Structure 1
Amino acid sequence: MTETPTEPPIFERILHTLSTPLTALPGIGTRQAVLLQKVTGGNRIIDLLFTLPENMIDRRTDCTLAEARRMVPPGGVLTTRVEVTGIDRPQRPRQPFRIHAHDGTDDIDLVFFHAQFIRHIRIGDRLAISGKLERYGSRLTMPHPDHMVAADRRDEIPVLDPVWPLTAGLFPSAMRRAVHGALALLPPLPEWQDPALLAKRQWPDFTTALRLLHNPSRDDAEHWSARAERARARLSCDELLADQLCMGIARLHARARPGRALIGNNTLRQEALRRFGYSMTGAQARAAGEIAADLAAPRPMMRLLQGDVGAGKTLVAVLALLQTVEAGAQAAFMAPTEILARQHYAVVAALSPVPCVFLSGNVKGKARRDILARIADGTASIIIGTHALFQDKVVFHDLGLAVIDEQHRFGVAQRMKLANKGHASNVLVMTATPIPRTLLLTQWGELQVSRLDEKPPGRLPIATSMHGLSTLEDVVAGIERALSRGTQVFWVCPLVEESEALDVAAAEARWAFLSKRLDARIGLAHGRQDIQIRQAALDAFRDHETSLLVATTVIEVGVDVPNAAIMVIEHAERFGLAQLHQLRGRVGRGQARSFCLLLFDDNASGNAKSRLALLRETEDGFRIADEDFRTRGGGDLAGSRQSGLPGFRLAAGVNSDRLLTIAWQDSERVLQRDPILKDGRGPALRLLLSIFDRDRPDRILLSG
């Protein structure tokens, strides 16, 4: 993009309005604004408007009490008019207030626990009420009506009543007041969607969609489900379009950045392949060729290499490292854990014709000073390590390539900090976790993608079986026989210690049980151990000093023990399919046939068992990842949210694939015609980017 169009003044006014703080809303003070911010995740009007209702209460059942006794089930919602016939005030603490009322056909008691709600009620008042109808013996009751107004103000009770997410101290009335105030300030907005798409899908405009979902009218009640579905689809597509445009612009920026060609003469790569001693798979050769072409181009590479467990990503990375060295630059290879970094160092050192150095937080004293000096003067061509590589004291002579493995375990700032240690550095990020197509577009859209979808010949399939926990003794007996034959075994548990909230076996408890039950050397590794203790347990298992390792998911990546041929995963129904596939990939690395035993709760749902059955059918990690995303959603890569499209608010549902395709195709068409969003829909699309905080594509460059 060679120029940045100026924004029309009206757009600036729109953004100013949408960025208005919540305290500017009528009736919303500082205390309520703080509570609202807990729910909305921000302190602006737009944050509030993007906090859509979680549910909608239908208050259209308006009938007499006699009719309600026949038609409305206990807990059903009733809206009706009544006259107050009596008021009972509690004689003892904690007793409720009761308003006795009737409508000429039957009687009802309205129950309250706070006097403030009935302070102005008098006998003879006529009221319109709406709430859940209950029965106390033979009497109809309505505990704490949701709405209670004078009968002549019946129209103030919404026919469709939104239910927003709340937090302690924030009441529905305050949320409703804030949302209605925000809607009143919502200015007219230009249309950024393709008119043909709007007509085809019968989507409302952006403002109408927000109003319909937050404050539906009586007219909206007819055909409500279809109208709400179209409104939600419209808003979801808006957010996805903003995201895809941002990703597309980031790609354009990346291609326009100055770089340098790292071509090389192929001598080091040929020697590495000779030392490797095997032919590359077709997928490896294809990925290596794509990366070589990127490095040789006069622009920085930004590529994702994703490969299933055992697909041979490290060899492809080694070839990229060596091409960089052939061209006279340095290459760095960063991994999230020391054990994984050291495994990479061992592989690279064995294949590389040039010396490599290793750097982690545990390298100290003179050894560290010597390595830092070699990195700074350029005598260290290939540097492998952990997050220590991006620390300020690490100064590269000429960093040309940064390879980042299991990149999602690093923060964006950390990844950018390593890449920025070089001039126009190339970035190759790798992951062993197959990424669903949906997340490739939404989370990785600024990167070119290479996929390793073949495994080296000779890798035996892993036999996967399912076992109810009621058969635990039979499973342990089978493990005992395998240990007697010299086979090593992983046993994975989902928790470190017993939890009252989750009735699952903890790693420590399972370690104690198996230590008593089996005549074998058993290790224990989990994330709450001191790192040296955990590393010692992993090393002992790798060196065959222990025969069975009880662990949590700390072994999910970076643990390579060829003699381990059995993986037991306890309470497998509590894991995602992609994670189970990763854990299964810790075995099957040697010459012996390997097994994965999925232990599940006998009371697990049929859906949970069906999900696990997919692992019996296939070892295709990409198919498994797509199915996992379809059934559970992508989750939050930081680990806090376990379902939905991560990073999205309006498009967070798990059924966004169709809309994502629409947004991606539209974005591609728009940027091909108008890369700086200057003409036609361009200005409105720039406004869209700002509204959804996607107007800074530079934030995602180099982030992975």
Structure 2
Amino acid sequence: MPFRNSLDGDRLATLGLGDSVARLPGVGPKRVADFRRLGVETIEDLMMLWPRRHLDRTSLTPIYQLQVGTSQTVRGQVVQVHDRSRTSGQSYLTVRLSDGTGFLDLTFFHAAWLKRQLQTGTHLLVSGRVDQFRGRLTMTHPEYELLQADQQPRLGLIPVYPLAGDLKQRFVQDLQARVVPRWAPQTVDPLPPGIRQKESLEDRAWAIVHQHWPSSWEEREASRRRLVFDEFLRMSLAVLWLHQTDPQVGAVALTVDNPLLTRFLGELPFVLTPGQEAAWNEIRADLMRSVPMARLLQGDVGSGKTILAALAMLAAIGSGLQAALMAPTELLAEQHYLLFEQHFAALGVRVILVSGRSKRTEEREMLQSGLPLVAIGTQALLSDDVDFGRLGLVVVDEQHRFGVRQRAQLGDKGLYPHMLVMTATPIPRTLALTVYGDLQVSQIEGLPPGRQPIATVHLAMKDRRQAYLKVMEAVRQGRQAYVICPLVEGGEEGQGKAATLLADGMKQIPGWRIGLIHGKMSAMEKSRVMDEFRRGAIDVLVGTTILEVGVDVPNATVIVIEEADRFGLAQLHQLRGRVGRGSYPSICFLLADATTAQSEERIQAMVESQNGLELAERDLQIRGPGEVLGMRQHGVAGFQLANPLKDLAWLERARQTARQILAADRTLAQEENQGLRQWVVEALREALPGHVLH
């Protein structure tokens, strides 16, 4: 292991894990700022900056012994450098390397700047895949390291770290090689020895050192196994701890079979599907208990989740309590308000809209009085000036990010309502543990009868006229359409400008009534446009991804998604779900010249499947759970090494271990569990600043 000891001076003897990296030699203000972009503030953070991968430089191979198709490491001297370009205009640099036994040609595309580094006479260490072109041995974009003529190269499994700003790989490697062996032994191992033995896990300090500098692939895997188990166990303990200690008072057991709910069910113009019935029975059983319900309701776009939310709310109102529905945007909150006001009008149930811009004291006084009603809004419902007198149920719609923090905000107000979290972006049941670890999961299988399947067509950008001819045909037939503008640089502001340009162009088409909606418009403008579209005063609505959730216009039968390869699978599936909501055949056009294997795979998955759960699983396979889920969504600190898809067996083992630990020691008060307790409290303090932990 290539450790250096230049940090062993007396000046650093007093430094601890919590000290800033700014106190390390060579880390000045600029590097401190660069490390901060990587989430590194302290020496402990630096040790937890894990390598993205390791280069296998366990041995040097003479050029004459290189085998085509293998990955090898070579040391040599640059003997020729050529800056070339193809007829297509693409530039590339070729560098010929010699070690006295043969020649190896290195190719670097779009890298003319490398000429300043890779000059004739330069000594290099290169690692990469060996190929052959016109009888010559080649490597394309190999990893390389500049060497002095007499310098001994660093061999072994070499860590490759994430970088930011002006940080250089060699600097971070050298720093870690000095920091890790000095401070890793200072880390506390929270795992009791019995658990380590039972799971055949290494000591934590050993695992930290060997995740950076393993002497073999087996050591790297053994260290990763221990660190992955730690991440899963910490999350599992934190989530289960919060769930068991949060409700110091029980919820009110609701009277589910009350006259309001019975009447509503009897007046529905349809019967619940078997999938809805099964999910409702699970929700119903929870609501009748005095333990607060914590349930995730998953259902594909159009599966009928809203009706189950209505039933749950009527269970609360019929029990003399209040219900709240929280939507992610004001636009969706207003749509829910209109829908539920219509649903509940005949029942005499009061529905009010609470928005961030609404300061009507009358509504807030009604909430504070405890009057049974339904309050609909965004997270403004959690603000300090909104007080519920008798909150019995909270429904959270279309929002992965409602997690432990928001539930704690309700708890801090002394409220422990039943909670139903709904999502139309399904997570495979096995992975729901990572995002909603303490929620029970109900899945609505199937779609209500009468729903039309949505034809999905992929067109190259040069053929986009075909899609707009279909829009024209739909408008002639009295139907409506959506056009979704591409994702562009500059966030919602950039998208808004792109949507405006697209809408202006389409307004030149005679007879088309064009509407425009994007996130930079005022809430009042967005509400007006949606109302006009809903009433049929707009034929084609041009918009951004603000239309991704909740928009329900049964007369819309065509959606055109421009540059669809820029969107994720979940977004594409949600956008497609804006049509097919009535009894008319519907079609979704994906306009894209797929430029990467991933984007091509996403487009193909959309064409082949309309099953949200199946698409979610495909998305996980294509992009991996870190990007799909965002590992901080639950509110408890996320994963750095663990991959729930790849490490599912370890996730399940860690959760089982967490349950066993808390069953034997509910508050982690026993001496051997003190490290675990500190670990969990720190995790929850990060997630819930200001929240009082029991």
Farther off after superposition, 648-657 or 306-315:
648-657
The corresponding residue for 1:537 is 529
Q: Distance in 1 between matches of 2:560 and 2:103?
A: 62
Q: Does 1:693 align with 2:683?
A: yes
Q: 1:251 and 1:390 mapped to 2: Cα distance?
A: 20
Map 1:295-694 → 2, pairs under 5 A? 295-352=287-344, 353-361=347-355, 368-408=360-400, 413=405, 416-418=408-410, 420-421=412-413, 423-495=415-487, 506-517=498-509, 519-601=511-593, 603-605=594-596, 607-635=598-626, 647-652=638-643, 655-677=646-668, 682-683=673-674, 685-686=676-677, 689=680, 693=683
The separation in 2 between residues aligned to 1:328 and 1:675, in whole angstroms, is: 34
Listed one character per residue, the Cα deviations across residues 197-230 of structure 1 (whole Å, up to 9, x for unaligned) are 754xxx64433332223234xxx2xxx4444344
Is 1:35 aligned to 2:34, yes or no? yes
- Give me the whole-angstrom Cα distance separating, in 2, the residues matched to 1:693 and 1:17: 20
Q: Is the 8 A contact 1:376 1:396 kept in 2?
A: yes
**2:110 — aligned with what?**
none
Q: CA separation in 1, counterparts of 2:379 and 2:37?
A: 33
Shift, 1:239, TM fit: 1.0
Partner of 2:250: 258
Aligned residues: 625
CA drift at 1:408? 3.3
Q: Are residue 19 (structure 1) and residue 18 (structure 2) matched? A: yes
Q: What is aligned with 1:90?
A: none
Equivalent position of 2:92 in the other structure: none
**Residue 86 of structure 2 corresponds to which residue in structure 1?**
none
1:133-163 alpha-carbon deviations (Å, 9 max, x no partner): 99xxxxxxxx998465695x73x73433322
TM-score normalised to the size of structure 2?
0.78
Partner of 1:48: 46
**Cross-structure match for 2:208:** 210
Where do residues 64-83 of structure 1 align in structure 2 (5 Å cutoff)? 68=63, 78-79=74-75
Contact 1:209–1:234, Cα closer than 8 Å, also in 2: yes
Deviates further, 512-521 or 21-30 = 21-30
> Alignment identity in percent?
35
- Secondary structure (helix, strand or coil) at the match of 1:566 reads strand
Contact in 2 for aligned 1:419/1:426 (Cα 8 Å): no
The 1:372/1:605 distance shift into structure 2, 3 A limit, reads closer
User: Does 2:270 align with 1:271?
Assistant: no
Q: Distance in 2 between matches of 1:608 and 1:436?
A: 21
Q: Secondary structure at 1:258's aligned position in 2?
A: coil
Structure 2 CA distance for aligned equivalents of residues 503 and 557 of structure 1: 17
The offset of 1:639, in angstroms, is 7.4
User: What SS does the aligned partner of 2:507 have?
Assistant: helix
Shift of 1:609: 3.1
Asked if the contact 2:483–2:561 (Cα under 8 Å) also holds between the matched residues in 1, the reply is yes
Amino acid at match of 1:443: V
TM-score scaled by structure 1?
0.77
Residue aligning to 1:12 = none
The answer on whether the counterparts of 1:460 and 1:588 sit within 8 Å (CA) in structure 2 is: yes
Label 1:129 to 1:183 Cα distance change in 2 as closer, same or farther (>3 A). farther
CA contact (8 A) 2:294 2:439 kept: yes
Alignment CA distance shift 1:578-1:133 (3 Å): closer
Residue 516 of structure 1 aligns to a residue whose secondary structure is coil
**Secondary structure of 1:565's partner?**
strand
Residue 694 of structure 1 and its aligned partner are, at CA, apart by 5.7
In structure 2, the CA distance between the partners of 1:214 and 1:321, relative to structure 1 (3 Å rule), is same
RMSD: 4.4
Unpaired runs of 5+ in structure 1? 1-15, 83-101, 118-126, 135-142
Structure 1 residue 337: Cα displacement: 2.5
Cα separation, 2, equivalents of 1:485 and 1:553 = 26
Bigger CA radius of gyration? 1
Aligned letter for 2:650? Answer: L
Shift of the 226–512 alpha-carbon distance from structure 1 to 2, 3 Å rule, reads farther
Quote how far apart the aligned CAs of 1:563 are: 0.3
Distance change (3 Å), C-alpha of 1:608 and 1:42: closer
Q: What is the distance in 2 between the residues matched to 1:420 and 1:688?
A: 23
Counterparts of 2:421 and 2:303, CA distance in 1: 15
Q: In the alignment, residue 683 of structure 2 is paired with which amino acid?
A: D
CA distance in structure 1 between the aligned counterparts of 2:521 and 2:277, rounded to whole angstroms: 41
Residue 35 of structure 1 aligns to which amino acid in structure 2?
Answer: D
Compared with structure 1, are the counterparts of its residues 627 and 663 closer, same or farther at alpha carbon in structure 2 (3 Å cutoff)?
farther
Q: Deviations over 1:655-680 (max 9, x none)?
A: 33343333334434444455444669
| Match of residue 172, structure 2, among 172, 175, 193 | 175
1:157 maps to 154
Query: 1:303, 1:448 within 8 Å by CA — same for their partners in 2?
Result: yes
Q: Alignment partner of 1:187: what SS?
A: helix
- Hey, what does 2:81 align to over in structure 1? none
Q: Secondary structure at the match of 1:554?
A: helix
- Corresponding residue of 1:138: none
Question: CA, structure 1 residues 677+522, in 2 after alignment: closer, same or farther (shift >3 Å)?
Answer: same
Deviation at 1:342, TM superposition (A): 2.7
Give the whole-Å Cα distance in 2 for the aligned partners of 1:320 and 1:699: 31
- Cα-to-partner distance string for 1:352-392 (whole Å, 9 max, x where unaligned): 32332322348757xx2322222222335222233343333
Query: What is the alpha-carbon distance in structure 2 between the residues aligned to residue 656 and residue 454 of structure 1?
Result: 30
| Change in CA separation of 1:505 and 1:56 when aligned onto 2, cut-off 3 Å | farther
Residue correspondence of structure 1 range 121-136 to structure 2 within 5 A: 131-132=125-126
Q: Report the Cα distance in structure 2 between the residues aligned to 1:551 and 1:25, rounded to whole angstroms.
A: 51
Q: Residue in 2 aligned with 1:187?
A: 185
Question: Which residue identity does 2:282 align to in structure 1?
Answer: E
**1:112-141, Cα deviation, whole Å (9 max, x unpaired):** x9xxx9xxxxxxxxx99653499xxxxxxx
Distance in 2 between residues matched to 1:512 and 1:105, nearest whole Å: 66
CA separation of 1:635/1:53 partners in 2, compared to 1, >3 Å: closer, same or farther? closer
What is the CA–CA distance in structure 2 between the aligned matches of 1:295 and 1:503, rounded to whole Å? 42
Distance 1:362 1:234 in 2: 46
Q: Is the 8 A contact 1:480 1:518 kept in 2?
A: no
Counterparts of 2:655 and 2:257 in 1: how far apart (Å)?
A: 39
Q: How does 1:273-288 map to 2 (within 5 A)?
A: 273-288=265-280
Cα gap change, 1:228/1:570 in structure 2, threshold over 3 Å: closer, same or farther? Answer: same
Counterpart CA distance in 2 for 1:389 and 1:208 is 48
Offset from partner CA, 1:236-288 (integer Å, 9 cap, x none) = 23212221222222333247653332335511110111232321122322332
**Whole-angstrom CA distance in 2 between matches of 1:696 and 1:649:** 16
Letter in 2 for 1:358: I
2:234 to 224, 228, 242: 242
Distance 2:690 2:569 in 1: 28
Cα separation, 2, equivalents of 1:295 and 1:658 = 32
Output the CA distance in 1 between the equivalents of 2:426 and 2:692. Answer: 20
1:700 and 1:594 map into 2 onto residues whose CA distance is 49
Distance 1:508 1:496 in 2: 13
Measured against aligned partners, the alpha-carbon deviations of 1:6-61 in whole angstroms (never above 9, x if no partner) come to xxxxxxxxxx954343345455456544433332x142232111111224344455
